Chain A
Amino acid sequence: MRTPSTSLDPGRGFVLAGMAVLCLLLLSGCNKERIGSTKPNQQPLETLTIGLISEQDIFKQVRRFEPLAEYLGLRLGMNVRLSVMPSYENALDTFVENNMDAAFFGSMTYILAHARLGVEIVARPVALDGTSTYYGVMIVRTDSKIRSAGDMKGTRLALVDKNALAGYIHPLAYFKKHGIEYHSYFKEIYFTGTHEDVVYDILDRKADVGALKSTIMFRLAAEDPKVASGLFIISRTPAIPENGLSVRSGLRASLKEKIRNVLLTMHEDPEGIKALRDFKAQKFIATTDSDYFAASSYIRELGIDIQAGQGAARP
Chain B
Amino acid sequence: MKTKIIIFLLISTLLAIIGGAYLLIINERRIVDADHLILLHEVEIMRERLLIDILTVKSDLYSQGTRHPASTDAIVNDVSMMERTMKTCFECHHDEPVTAALHDLDDQLSHFSHAFSRILTMRKNAKRYDAEVERAHIIGDSLISKVNTMIILTNTALSARTERSLQSTQRTKVIMIVIVAAGPVMIAILGLTALAGFTKPISILLDATRKVKGGDLNIHTSGLRDEFAELGHAFDDMAFSLMEHTQKIQESEKRYRNLFESAADAIFVLSLEEQKVGNILQANPAAAEMHGYSVEELLTMNIRDLDSPDAAKGIPFRLERVLKGDWLRTQISHRRRDGSEFPVEVSAGVFEVGGQKYILALDRDITERKQAEDSLQRAQQIRIAGEMATGLAHEIKNPLAGIKATMEMFSHETYFPEEDRAILNKVIDEIKRIEYLMKSLLNFARPPKPHFVKTDVNAVLETVVGAVLKDPAFVRDEAHAIRLARNYGSRLPEASADPMQLQQLFMNLLLNAADAMPNGGTLTLETAHDLPSQMLRITISDTGTGIDDAIISNIFQPFFTTKAKGTGLGLAITKRLVEEQDGQISIVNRPGEGAQFIIKIPALQGGEVHP
Contact = CB atoms under 8 A, between A and B. Distances in A.
Nearest to A197: B118
B584 interface: no
A49 to B, nearest CB: 10
Chain B interface residue number, banded: 20 to 34
Given A54-B117, A192-B122, 8 more contacts: A25-B27, A26-B31, A29-B35, A86-B121, A193-B118, A193-B120, A193-B121, A194-B121
Contacts of B117: 54, 57-60, 194
A26 B30 CA distance: 11
Contact of A87 (B16, B80, B123): B123
A236 B271 CA distance: 144
Contacts of B118: 57, 192-194, 197
B122 A25 contact: no
A59 B28 contact: no
B125 interface: yes
Contacts of A191: 122-123, 125
Interface string B571-597: 000000000000000000000000000
A175 interface: no
A26 B28 CA distance: 8
A82 B24 CA distance: 52
Contact of A161 (B72, B79, B120, B123): B123
A18 B183 CA distance: 15
A196 to B, nearest CB: 9
B458 interface: no
Given A86-B121, A193-B122, A14 B72 contact: no
Nearest to A82: B76
Interface residues of A, number: 34
Question: DSSP majority for the B interface?
Answer: helix
A25 B80 contact: no
A35 B76 contact: no
23 contacts: A18-B20, A22-B24, A25-B28, A25-B31, A32-B35, A35-B91, A57-B114, A57-B117, A58-B117, A58-B121, A59-B79, A59-B117, A62-B80, A82-B76, A84-B73, A84-B76, A86-B120, A98-B73, A190-B123, A190-B125, A191-B125, A194-B117, A206-B128
A58 B83 CA distance: 13
B72 A58 contact: yes
A89 interface: yes
A25 B123 contact: no
Contacts of B24: 21-22, 25
A83 interface: yes
B76 A193 contact: no
B169 to A, nearest CB: 15
B456 interface: no
Interface in B252-292: none
Interface of B: 13, 16, 20, 24, 27-28, 31, 35, 38, 42, 46, 72-73, 76, 79-80, 83, 88, 91, 113-114, 116-118, 120-123, 125, 128
A58 B123 contact: no
Given A22-B24, A35-B46, A54 B121 contact: yes
A87 B46 contact: no
Contacts of B122: 191-193, 197
Q: Which 7 A-B pairs have the closest CB atoms?
A: A193-B121, A191-B123, A57-B117, A190-B125, A193-B122, A86-B120, A29-B31
A123 B443 CA distance: 172
A62 B76 contact: yes
From A82, A87, A98, residue with most partner B Cβ within 10 Å: A87
A83 B73 contact: yes
Interface string A219-262: 00000000000000000000000000000000000000000000
Contacts of A32: 35
Interface string A14-32: 1000100110011001001
A53 to B, nearest CB: 10
From B24, B73, B121, B122, residue with most partner A Cβ within 10 Å: B121
Contacts of A89: 123
Contacts of B35: 29, 32
A45 to B, nearest CB: 18
Nearest to A58: B117
Contacts of B120: 54, 58, 84, 86, 193
B72 A193 contact: no
Contacts of A193: 118, 120-123
Nearest to A194: B121
A26 B24 CA distance: 10
A62 B83 CA distance: 12
Contacts of B116: 59
Contact of A190 (B16, B76, B128): B128
A60 B113 CA distance: 9
A35 B114 contact: no
A299 to B, nearest CB: 20
A58 B115 CA distance: 11
A14 B13 contact: yes
A293 B116 CA distance: 36
Contacts of A190: 123, 125, 128
A193 B116 CA distance: 12
Contacts of B125: 190-191
B72 A86 contact: yes
A86 to B, nearest CB: 5
B42 A59 contact: no
B188 to A, nearest CB: 15
Interface in A1-48: 14, 18, 21-22, 25-26, 29, 32, 34-35
A197 B80 CA distance: 20
Contacts of B31: 25-26, 29
B113 A57 contact: yes
A235 B401 CA distance: 204
A59 B76 contact: yes
Contacts of A82: 76
Interface string A129-144: 0000000000000000
Nearest to A89: B123
Contacts of B80: 59, 62-63
From A22, A35, A63, residue with most partner B Cβ within 10 Å: A35
Contact of A14 (B16, B38, B76): B16
A58 B120 CA distance: 9
B21 to A, nearest CB: 9
From A21, A58, A63, A83, residue with most partner B Cβ within 10 Å: A58
B20 A192 contact: no
A88 to B, nearest CB: 9
A155 B20 CA distance: 80
B113 A59 contact: yes
From A26, A86, A98, residue with most partner B Cβ within 10 Å: A86
Contacts of A57: 113-114, 117-118
Contacts of A161: 123
B172 to A, nearest CB: 15
A306 B83 CA distance: 39
A305 B285 CA distance: 163
Nearest to B77: A62
A59 B86 CA distance: 14
A69 to B, nearest CB: 13
Contacts of A14: 13, 16
B113 A35 contact: no
Nearest to B116: A59
B143 to A, nearest CB: 15
Contacts of A18: 16, 20
A223 to B, nearest CB: 13
B370 to A, nearest CB: 75
Contact of B88 (A26, A35, A86): A35
A156 to B, nearest CB: 10
B213 to A, nearest CB: 29
B157 to A, nearest CB: 18
A153 to B, nearest CB: 21
Contacts of A86: 72, 120-121
Contacts of A58: 72, 76, 117, 120-121
From B16, B80, B128, residue with most partner A Cβ within 10 Å: B128
